[in-house]
Structure 1
Amino acid sequence: MEIVNVRIDERLVHAQVAAVWASALNATRIIVIDDGAAQDEVQQVALKMACPKSVKLTILAADRAVEKLKEPAYPDDRIFIVMKGIKTLNKITKMGYIFPEVNIGNLNDKEGGIQIRRSVRLSDEQIALILDLHEKGIKFVSQLVPSEDKVNLIDLIKEKV
């Protein structure tokens, strides 16, 4: 099992993730880690429809995802992980699974927050969680599309706050 990218994108699987990212990463499986999506059949159908036919899709709640990642359950797959928000990443980290690098691709605090990049607006709570998770060893980058260079998100946050 090779995890080729971990992305936080509040839209989960959509055209950019499905067509652009999955293809560029040569992903064979997209794993959506989201407690809500794991229990919502309508959302699961929508996610399946958005996923390319050539890529397997797995939708898991955070606790089940940690079990599967620790096994590892998908030994022959190139895995692209997508989560909706920082809280899910924090939950996974508290359960003992730490991703070495996480791409904050599209996250937009609707209540205001601080504009970090064009597609990233973070609340004070999200910033605090990111900084705390960074202290635990997670490298945070921001990269909207694969053709764009990765940007160190921690540096951007420190410039803005």
Structure 2
Amino acid sequence: MNIVGVRIDGRLVHGQVANLWTPKLQADRIIVLDEQIINDNIQKSGLRMATPRTTHLSVLDYKTAADHLLNDRYGTQRLLLVAKRPKEFLDLIDEGVKIDSINVGTMSQTNTTQMITKQINVEQEDIKVFDELNAKGVHLFAQLNPSVEAHDFMKLLNDKINR
């Protein structure tokens, strides 16, 4: 596995991922983990349009992604994994995929989320998943784009959430 980046971003592939993170990480392939988009050709088409021309795109569920990653399907390609929520990455880890760190990017605000930063809003379930990821030794950091400073996400989370 040649995972060069793992990012949570509710927008999946968009300007920041396509134009900033992909070149910064020199990613050859973006793997989007999303079970709903797999069967939605319109959304997949939109993701393909947003993906840089020199970069491959895969839209997979976590079980298929784990199988492909663990069986070295992508060879020497540099991989950027993106999902809307942290649960997909916890599921990947539980399938045996090694993830050292996760960049917590944009998570949109809804009427059921709690604001951590202007860009990061979490559901109660997300908090539990972040705690599990942290307990498994995954470094969680918040960094909107490569030109800004990274922050310890668990510190941001713990400062905002009453436990």
Number of the residue aligned with 1:121? 121
Alignment map for 1:107-146 (pairs within 5 Å):
107-146=107-146
State the distance in 2 between where 1:36 and 1:22 align.
23
1:52-78 Cα shifts (integer Å, max 9, x gaps)? 101111111111000011111112211
State the distance in 1 between where 2:95 and 2:39 align.
20
Number of the residue aligned with 2:45? 45
Q: Which amino acid aligns with 1:76?
A: T
State the identity %: 32
Alignment map for 1:17-32 (pairs within 5 Å):
17-32=17-32
Contact 1:103 1:143 in 2 (8 A): yes
Number of the residue aligned with 1:73? 73
Contact 1:114 1:122 in 2 (8 A): yes
Following superposition, the deviation at residue 30 of structure 1 comes to 0.8
Instruction: Note the residue ranges of structure 1 that are not aligned, 5 or more in a row.
Output: none
Secondary structure, counterpart of 1:108 in structure 2: coil
State the distance in 1 between where 2:109 and 2:131 align.
17
Instruction: Note the residue ranges of structure 2 that are not aligned, 5 or more in a row.
Output: none
TM-score by length of 2: 0.92
State the distance in 2 between where 1:19 and 1:132 align.
31
Q: Which amino acid aligns with 1:129?
A: V
Contact 2:70 2:96 in 1 (8 A): no
Q: CA RMSD in A?
A: 1.4
State the distance in 2 between where 1:96 and 1:54 align.
29
Contact 2:12 2:83 in 1 (8 A): yes
TM-score by length of 1: 0.93
Secondary structure, counterpart of 1:27 in structure 2: coil
